[in-house]
Amino acid sequence: MTQKNKNILLVAGLLLLWGIAYIFGFSKTIALSTHINELQQQKKIHQSAPAQLAALAKKEKQLDAILAKNKVAGSSIQNNLLKTLQEVSEATSVMVVNFDTPHILTDTETNKVTTTYQFTLEGDYKSLRNVIYALEQQYSFGNIIHAHFEKQKNYRTRVTYLQCKLLVQRVN
């Protein structure tokens, strides 16, 4: 046997030995190592769950405080707006004449929902202005996008009165 044949047999034997060692030993070790890494990642996730729960509870308290500060309770903005208008009308000489159903527009590209509330108030100018100011500054129902003042006259009683049509828009 020549030196060249011995080297070829040696390399072939080493490759065969390496293949057998991989099949019986290395592959199982690598599989166990990847399994251990996955379990350690799951352990980290489960260990961080109480911290995430505490953070979410803290965030919920903050959001509840913001809602309480903005005087928004419940889930229906329309009911809250009507309730607020009723409270303000009892405190001032303003009367809620009309409260139309909200107009809802959904933008298909951005998936934003725009809700517009339209209602009519009646009273003197100063009281109406104070109600509009209160809706803008003290409550968070949305933006007042339009206020239309109209002086009207009841011809039967010969009384003039001031009406204000408001549009409040909320983008979700």
In this structure, are 55 and 91 located in the same domain? no
The predicted pLDDT at position 57 comes to 86
The CA distance from 97 to 41, in Å, is 62
Amino acid at residue number 99: F
In this structure, are 160 and 88 located in the same domain? yes
In this structure, are 55 and 100 located in the same domain? no
The predicted pLDDT at position 39 comes to 93
- Overall number of domains in the chain: 2
In this structure, are 48 and 125 located in the same domain? no
pTM: 0.56
* Residue 30, domain extent: 1-69
The H or E element spanning position 126 is helix 125-137
The predicted pLDDT at position 82 comes to 86
Helices (H) and strands (E) in the chain, counts: 4, 5
The predicted pLDDT at position 122 comes to 93
